[in-house]
Structures are given as C-alpha cells and as structure tokens.
Structure 1
Amino acid sequence: MATTSPDRIVSLDLIRGFAVLGIFSVNIIGMSFMQGVYFQPILQGFDGLGDKVMYLANLILVDGKLRALFSMLFGASMLLVVDRAVAAGKAGWRVHYPRIFWLLVIGLAHYYILWWGDILSHYAMIGALAYLWWKRSVKVLFIWSAILLFIAYIAMPVSQAYGQYQQQQQQEAEAAEEAAAEAEAAAEATDGDAAATADPDAVVEAEPERRGPPPEVFEQAKAKHQTPMTHLQAQLSNNPFQPFMVSVFLLPETLGLMLLGMGLYRSGFLTGEESHATYRKWAIWGFGALALYSAAVAAWVVSGNYDFMYAGMARNALTPWTRALMAMGYAAILILWSRGGMNWLSTRIAAAGRMAFTNYLGMTLIMTPIMFGFGFGLFGELTRGTAWLYFVPAMWLAMLLFSKWWLDRYRYGPLEWVWRSLSRWQVQPMRKTASVAS
C-alpha cells in the first residue's frame, strides 16, 4: 500500500528528510576545515578518539550513501513533477526546465558566495539531462542506470587512483624541495656548521607523516573564508569552473542514480507499493550486509593508520559500488518504519523532507557565520569529532522542530516558495487558509 496523503507521497518525504539530515553529518566537515579534509581525515582536526569514531561512522554509514539516496529522490521527485504537469495538460519541459534554470542560479550563488560544497548546481545540470528519459519504461530506466553506474564505479577508482598517485608524487617533490631549502637556510644561518648534521633525505622521509597542512596553506584557506566577498574572489580566481568540472566528473554516477530513482518511483518501490518481504530483503542485504562490508573496509583504514592512500582507496575504490545498494536499503528500512504508522519522529523527518531545499541551504546560512571570519571564526579551530558533536545534533533538532512548525502554517518551505515562484514567474500563495497548531 502506498504511503500517501491527499497531495503528498509520504514515503518520498520521509526518505528525503532522512537523506538531508544525514548529509549534514559529512557536510559539517567541509564547512569546518580545508576542502581536502573532507576527503583525507589526517590533514587537520584528527587528534582524538572522537575524531576517529566520527570519521569511521561517516565512512561506513553516510559518506556517498546518503548523497546517492538524495540523488535517487531528486530523480523520483523530478518525474513526479513532470507527470503531474502533463496530467494537468501542460508540456513537461515547460515546467521542468524553468525549475532547473533557477536551481542552477541558486546553486551557483551558493557555491561562489558561501561554500565550495554546493550540490544544487550539479543536480540542475544533471537533472537537465535526466529529463530526456522521463517517458522511458521502468526496464529502460534500470538498464541505463546499471550501465551508467557500472561506468562510474569502474572508471572512478581508476581515475582517482591515477590522480592520487600524481598528487602523492607532487607532494613528495614539494617536500623534497622544502627540506632542501630548510637545510640550505640552516647551513647559511650557522655558517656551515648545521650542514654537517642536517640530513635532507631524512627530512624528506619523515615528511609524509606530517599530520596537518603547511601553516601557509591553512592561512590561505582561512583568509578565503573571511567574508562572502573574499570567498567569491577566491572562487573566481582559483576554482571558477569547479561546479561544471564536478558535474562532468560525476555525471555517470549522478545520472545513473537519478534514473534509478525514476525507475524505483515508477515501479512503486519508493512509494511503498512493494511487498513487505521485498523491503525486508533490501533492508537486510542492501543495508545490513553492505554496512558490514563497509565496516571491514573501515577496519582496513584503521590498520593503515588512516594514511592518505588507505583513506583514498576506501572512499574512491572500495566503497563507491555500495552507495546505490545501501541507499535502497535505507529506503526499504524507512518504508517499513512508516508502515507501522507515522509517529512524532517520522512525521517531523517527513516535514524536513518537504523542506529539503530550505534545510539544505539553511545549513550553510547558519554554519558559515559560525565558522568563517565574518562570524565566530571557528574555521579550522575544532577537531572533526567536536565539530560534529557541537553542531550536528543541534542542527538536526532545529530542522525537525522548525520544519513541522512552519508547514503547519504555510504551504511550502521558505526557499521552496521562492523557487516555485521564480519557476512559475508568479508569486505563489504561501499561507494556509487555516493555520493548524503544532
């Protein structure tokens, strides 16, 4: 039986809400530290047991998996909007592409002005392509999804491994040059006495064990985040094409996930129409078995002392193929949960899903003044574990409480209303005719 209300598919809202909440568990790292820390934990803020626990928990349960779930839900929601537009006698593309255009504008503003980790512009660009499949059958959607995900999960590890090898070679060369310069400076400072004791090769050999970026690199990153204007200038100067390059690089995976979501929506999987046994199997094998596999990969990373190579291999080669399957496992668990009846928590998670656009951007709007120089300036000052502990539970609670409260009074979330009004070139009605007390 589909979990629906008169104008909502509750299962989609619940799954989307879970995804947007979970994504903040990893996004907080990208907001708190240098960009590279998001991918390589030992670069910064990785000192204690709590830091390691949070890294491993995200690696096993969140990283890539909930982005996959969010991508699938984007495809399903896109298909839902287009289908409803066509049923109302409108051309699907006339509804879809204005939405995509404004999503791209908002996403690029998010990237250039506030935070490098924007995903909205990426979804807009890939969503523009996904529309080409909206009339396709479930079978065709699944075939194309499988082809694209196969390409992504075979090509990605190879390209990542090559890029990581190049990066390691560059780092070793830079370390050698830095060590030689330090040895030369020491020799000159002591009039040659230090030259007899300095061993440049030993310095170079010890360099890979460094647990943090060079001070000047961190200061450059911190200066970039002093104000939205300095962030804009830095992005335009250093990474002006990053949103577009990311979309090219991630196109096979994201398009494959969107098509998978479209197929799962059309087949009834995401709307709760499959059998209880089907969802139970996906919960056990899609989530449970692959979570155990991911835990084994995490143990391997621990055995390698969280080294760059181990962390990079885990994220880019050993776990990507689990993302779509674990995302389906998560969806199955949430649908099984909703079948027992919506309770206080699930109702509020679903409300957070209805306001996913507002909640996603709200994370940045709240966290950037806290982390960056125009606010409390905590950028790089915390550890991975403390950043998570201080902000993630509080943000989750805020989203759960605020989303339900708002939607009891208004038709759409604040930014959903803006997006809808821009897409339709007309201010949409906002307040409900009769407010309901929360």
Structure 2
Amino acid sequence: MTSTSMTTAAEPDGAPRVASLDILRGIAILGILFMNINAMGGAMESGWEDLWRYGHSRADEVAYFLRMTLADGTARCLLEMLFGAGMVILTDRAAAAAEASGRSGRLWRIGHRLFGPLAVLRAYYWRNFVLFLFGVAHIFILLWAGDILHTYGFAAMIAVLFRKLGPKMLLALGLTMALLQLGGGAYSYVDRTAELQQVAAIEAKQKAGTALTAPERKMLADVKDRKVKRDKREADANARMAKEDVARSAETGTFLSWAGAAWSITGFIQAKGLEILFVWEAAATMLVGAALFRWGVLQGARSSRFYIITLILAYGFGLSTRGIGAVEEIIGHVGPSITWATMEVARLATTLGHVALVHLLLRTVAGTRALKPFEAAGRTALSVYIAQTMVCLWVLYPPFMLGLYGQQGWAAWMLTALAVNAALLWGANVWVRHYSIAPVEWAWRSIVAWRRLPFRRRDVPSVGPAVPAAA
C-alpha cells in the first residue's frame, strides 16, 4: 500500500506540513461556518432557545436536521483533535532539538522528567499565548463573540502538560474529561425519565383524592419550582434576543449598537462561566487527538480495513443518535432527550467517522482529486476563519452594510455558508500558488518567531513522510 501520509513543503518558519492533516483541517475550518452563521445572521441564543425565530419551513427543518446530524460540534471537534496532533508534532520536533542543549541542575531535571525539555514548554506556551491574544482581538475588535482561538490557545497550555503520556493514557484522560464535562448526561437522562414517571404517578394519585406523603408533596413542589426557574430563564433569554434584534437589525441598529450587542454577548458568556466548559472540552479533545495521532489514525497511517470498521461503528452510533436528537428538537420534544445521554460521545464518534471517510477517499484517485483543494484551506485555516468573520459580520449581516440580519432561516443560512465557503476555498487555492504563508498565519508566526517571516512563495525541500502508512 502506498503512503496516505502525503506531505507538503515546510512553512517559512520550518514547521513541517502533512497534507492529509491539512485536508482534514481545511474541511474542519470550512465546516465551522455552518455552525457559526446562524449566530452571525441571527441572535446568538436563538440556536438553542428559539430555533424557528426567523422562519420555519420544511426546507429549514431539512437544513437543520443535516446540520445537527452531520456537522454540529464535529468541525470544532476535528479542529481540537488536529490541535492535539499539532501539539505532538511541534513539541516532539522542538524536544529533539532541545535535547542537545545538555542543561543540568536539579530543577531542570525534575521539569524534564515531568514535561520534557522546559524550553519546549516555554516555546509552546508563547506560541499559544500569542494565539490567545489573536482570539481576544477577534472578539473585541472584529466583534465575534463565538471566537475559538482564545479558547484553543488557553486549552493547549493545559493539554501540553500531558504530552509525555502514552497514547492509551492520553485517550483515557481525554475521554474521562469529555464525559465529566457534561455532568453525567446519561445519568441526567435516566434520572429525569424516572422523575417524570414518578410525578405522573403522584399526580394521578392526587386526582384520585388519595393523600400524598411528605416526600411526594416535596417532589411536586420541587418540580414546580424548577419550572418557575426554567420559565424565568426562557423569559430572560427572549428579552436578550429581542434586545439583540433591535441592536443588530438594519432598521433599528447602528454600528455602535451592533458593537455593543457583541460585547454584551461576550460578557454574558463569561458571566455564566461558559468559558470554563469551552476550555475543558477543547483540552479533552486535544488529548484524544494527540492519542489518535500517536497511533497514526489522524494522518491516515492505518489500514483500509481499520478505517472501514471505524467508519461503520462510528457512524452507526454517532449518526443514529444525533439524528434522533435532531428530530426531537425539530418536533419540539419536551422532556428527557437522547441528546442529553449521548451528546459528547456521539460528537466524538461522528468526528472519528468523518476522519475514517476522508482517509478512505484519499486511497482512491477520484477521492484524492476531490479532496485535494481542501489542503489549501488547511494551510490557510487561520486566515480563512478570520475571513469568514469579515464576510459575514462585516458585510452580510451588520446594519451598516447589506443588513441581512434576521432575514434568513436555517436553509438560507446553510446555503449562504456554502457560497461563502466556496469562495474562500477558491481564494485559498489561488493564494497558496503565489504565497508561502497566509496573512494571519504570517502575522502570528512572525510574532512567535520574533522575526519577519518570508511571505511570498519560495521553494522549500520536502520534509518527507511524517508517519509511514500501515499495511
């Protein structure tokens, strides 16, 4: 079997590139827009509080079903996995160079034993601190409250502390963190289902005129109290969305009201402590990605049989449970949802299915030809991500430009994302033919390297296969 770990030339700062990883990264970064565009073209909270706020047609239902089943969280998950793979590539490469320094001293030896060469840790922290600052600028200057760069920069600083663990330990730790993140979704599902059955029995008993016990009266009171709180949360969310609609619509919004709404959303996210969950999820998935890279899964170094089995099992579980969850949301299901019990596991499984499918396609001539353009998007991923914000938040939806905020539903959003991504994919391929690095990547890596990196395209010798393919 020929190697599917295709390689490209190194970056201007010497970082090696693996084309199959770039293809996955390109697919992921373009996929992100399908998850973000509804919060750019509508109220941020409408995606989970009021699905049909801006229209409800059969086409919207189909678009929402496909989005939730195939894409929801998987583009983000794939980026997080690839971030873990990049952590391994960069730190292993830097460690090999740092080992030659021959430093000594007790403190250095302790740090080396725990984390590897401390110079590697210091360099990786600096790299991700700069990325964190880019994310902060993305939030407060470009006004995208849903930025992931600052989250990934911070999460990477946590994940790198475990880089010396073996792949089994990395996977175990990552999966444990992923499951703990949701606070026991499966338990919540079972517990809530049992509670509803108990409440129904108590209410039937009450209607029959039978006296209730003290625990039964307390259960009914607790249920009523939670409903009051839930109704208040929904009312507060509706008030925030209505305020955002006024601030961002073409009829009533201005630049200042639009900017104020964006900053207000960021404040709400931080005040609710949601950032902690975002960082936790990202760090957990990075560890999973690091393990998968160590095993050769992400870069296509396993056998076709491995990827076929992975595809069947991962999609069989992930797509089925996510499809059920999407249908429950579309029909307005009230009560325990299958999504509660399976959300994170199904997200990871579906993402792994995507990885398997891509590597199976890369083993065919037609598949390689079809996926090759995404390599350019992967090489320019950071710039593509910022460009998505510029096109949507600064051209399509702000009140001072096209003013399309609130004018589209799910079907129109998905078609708009498809059109924007097609243009950006074309642009990325044109760019890499003329330049050695994308503009935002150039700025980031120049700051990290403390020198101005070459910008225009130049010949760079191939770095060779990163990982040999398994038979």
Q: TM-score range by the shorter chain?
A: 0.7 to 0.9
Q: Which residue does 2:313 correspond to in 1?
A: 285
Match of 2:362, SS? helix
CA contact (8 A) 2:373 2:429 kept: yes
1:335 aligns with 2:359: yes
Aligned to 2:390: 365
Q: Specify the alignment match of 2:7 in structure 1.
A: 5
Distance 1:284 1:138, change over 3 A: same
Verify: 1:63 aligned to 2:72, yes or no: yes
Cα gap change, 1:156/1:243 in structure 2, threshold over 3 Å: closer, same or farther?
farther
Identical positions, percent = 27
**Which deviates the most, 281-290 or 233-242?**
233-242
Given candidates 405, 425, 436, the residue that maps to 1:411 is: 436
**1:45 maps to which residue?**
54
Conserved? CA contact 1:46–1:52, under 8 Å: no
Query: Counterpart in 1 of 2:267?
Result: 240
Q: Aligned to 1:106, which of 112, 115, 134?
A: 134
**Aligned counterpart, 2:13:** none
**Unmatched tracts of structure 1, length 5 or more:** 179-211
Shift of 1:61: 0.8
* C-alpha contact (below 8 Å) 2:74/2:347 kept by paired residues: yes
Letter in 2 for 1:14: I
Deviation per residue, 1:20-47 (Å, 9 max, x gap): 1222112111111111112235351232
Which residue does 1:181 correspond to in 2? none
Deviations 1:121-140 (A, max 9, x none): 11111111011012221122
1:195-230 Cα shifts (integer Å, max 9, x gaps): xxxxxxxxxxxxxxxxx956x842444415756654
User: What secondary structure sits across from 2:69 in the alignment?
Assistant: helix
Cα distance per residue 1:266-308 (max 9 Å; x no partner): 1111121111111111111112442123223333334xx235x
For each residue in 1:305-360, what CA deviation from the matched residue of structure 2 results, as whole angstroms up to 9, or x when unmatched?
A: 235x46x9455544332111111111111111112246443111121111111111
Cα displacement string for residues 216-261 of structure 1 (whole angstroms, at most 9, x for unaligned residues): 8424444157566545544555643735933312344322210010
Deviations 1:51-75 (A, max 9, x none): 1111111111111122211111111
| Alignment match, 1:392 | 417
Q: Which amino acid aligns with 1:64?
A: G
Report the counterpart of residue 219 of structure 2 in structure 1.
none
- Distance in 1, Cα, partners of 2:234 & 2:358: 49
Partner of 1:274: 302
Is the CA contact (8 Å cut-off) linking 1:409 and 1:432 kept in structure 2?
yes
What letter matches 2:455 in structure 1? M
Residues 25 and 378, structure 2, Cα contact 8 Å, conserved in 1: yes
Q: Secondary structure at the match of 1:382?
A: coil
Q: TM-score, normalised by structure 1?
A: 0.81
Say whether the 8 Å CA contact 2:437–2:457 is kept in structure 1.
no
Deviation track 1:132-174 (CA, whole Å, cap 9, x = no partner) reads 0122211221121122122124446778999x99896346359
Tell me the C-alpha RMSD between the 2 structures.
3.2
Give the aligned residue type for 1:395: V
Correspondence 1:123 to 2:176: no
Q: Secondary structure at the match of 1:42?
A: coil
TM-score, normalised relative to structure 2: 0.75
Matched, 1:75 2:99: no
Tell me which amino acid in the other structure corresponds to 1:377. Answer: G
Amino acid across the alignment from 2:63: M
Q: Equivalents in 1 of 2:74, 2:224: separation in Å?
A: 25
> Is the CA contact 1:298–1:314 (under 8 Å) kept in the aligned structure 2?
no
Contact kept in structure 2, 1:352 and 1:403, CA below 8 Å: yes
Q: 2:465 maps to which residue?
A: none
Equivalent residues in 2 for 1:125-164, closer than 5 Å: 125-155=154-184
Structure 2: 5+ residue runs without aligned partners?
10-16, 100-118, 193-222, 461-471
Cα distance per residue 1:81-123 (max 9 Å; x no partner): 2222223448312331122111111111222331221111111
What does 1:117-266 align with in structure 2 at a 5 Å threshold? 117-155=146-184, 169-170=228-229, 172=231, 213=238, 217-223=241-247, 226=253, 229-234=256-261, 236=263, 239-240=266-267, 242=269, 245-266=273-294
The answer to whether the Cα contact below 8 Å between 1:41 and 1:55 also exists between their aligned partners in 2 is no
Residue 26 (structure 1) aligned to one of 4, 14, 35: 35
CA distance, structure 2, for counterparts of residue 252 and residue 171 of structure 1: 26
Change in Cα spacing, 1:344 to 1:399, as seen in structure 2 (3 Å) is farther
How many residues matched?
A: 394
Name the CA distance, whole Å, in 1 between partners of 2:422 and 2:406. Answer: 24
